[in-house]
Amino acid sequence: MARNNAWAGFPGLLRGQWGGRPVFLWLMGTSDGLAVVSGHAWLDNLMIEEGTVIEAALQEVYRFWSPVLSRHFYTISKAEKELLLAQYPQVWTYEGVVYHAFGDDSDPDTKPVHRFWSSALSGHFYTLSEAEKDKLINEYSQVWSYEGVAFYAYPAGKQPEWAKPVYRFWSPSKSAHFYTMSEAERQAVLTTYAHIWVDEGIAWYADE
């Protein structure tokens, strides 16, 4: 929403409860980010001559587990979540919200997390890497079908202080990837299931 006049108000910019999370304001130009942690905020005598207000709402990322396929599935789509719950409960078990990500690129520091589906492997693959995405499309299209952008997250080096890493694991025996933000899950995989899962490092950063 562009504003070309001074002394303008921006009602409705913060919707609902803050939930204890910081609110970041970027004034651009030579200004640094200002974090508003709690309470009410006023910017007195602030003149906005030209600019754009961006609302970037974090959304829930849902995780499912399939004992039939021995695969996890991740989606930001409430419609997909409800579809699996209603029509495929015998295949997919809902495991809850695992973290929060963006549904669009409102935050210019985020990058798209791409989603692929493999009928041969009966599983999905997610990557923030454009090089990985292009390689699968150009060299492995017989195995992986590109399904588009799953959500938006932060690459390493662009993550804000509050963002946390999402770790990626690969299992040669299962021919599957596993993603988790949980430090407890990560440690369990590294210690108890190291013979099954290979640590591939940080996939991206998101909000818990």
Q: What are the tens digits of pLDDT across the range 34-91? A: 555 555 555 554 554 555 444 447 899 999 999 999 999 999 999 999 999 999 999 9
Give residue 134's pLDDT band: very low, low, confident or very high (50, 70, 90): very high
- Asked if the model's pLDDT at residue 132 lies above 60, the reply is yes
* CB-count exposure of residue 93 (10 Å: 0-12, 13-18, 19+): middle
The residue-averaged pLDDT of 96-121 equals 93
Q: What are the extents of the domains in the chain?
A: 1-55, 58-206
How far apart are alpha carbons 60 and 177 in whole angstroms?
A: 20
Q: Which residue do the tokens 């609302």 mark?
A: 55
How far apart are alpha carbons 104 and 179 in whole angstroms?
A: 21
Count of beta carbons in the 10 Å neighbourhood of residue 107? 18
pTM of the model: 0.75
* Contact between residue 34 and residue 22 where contact means Cβ atoms under 8 Å apart: no
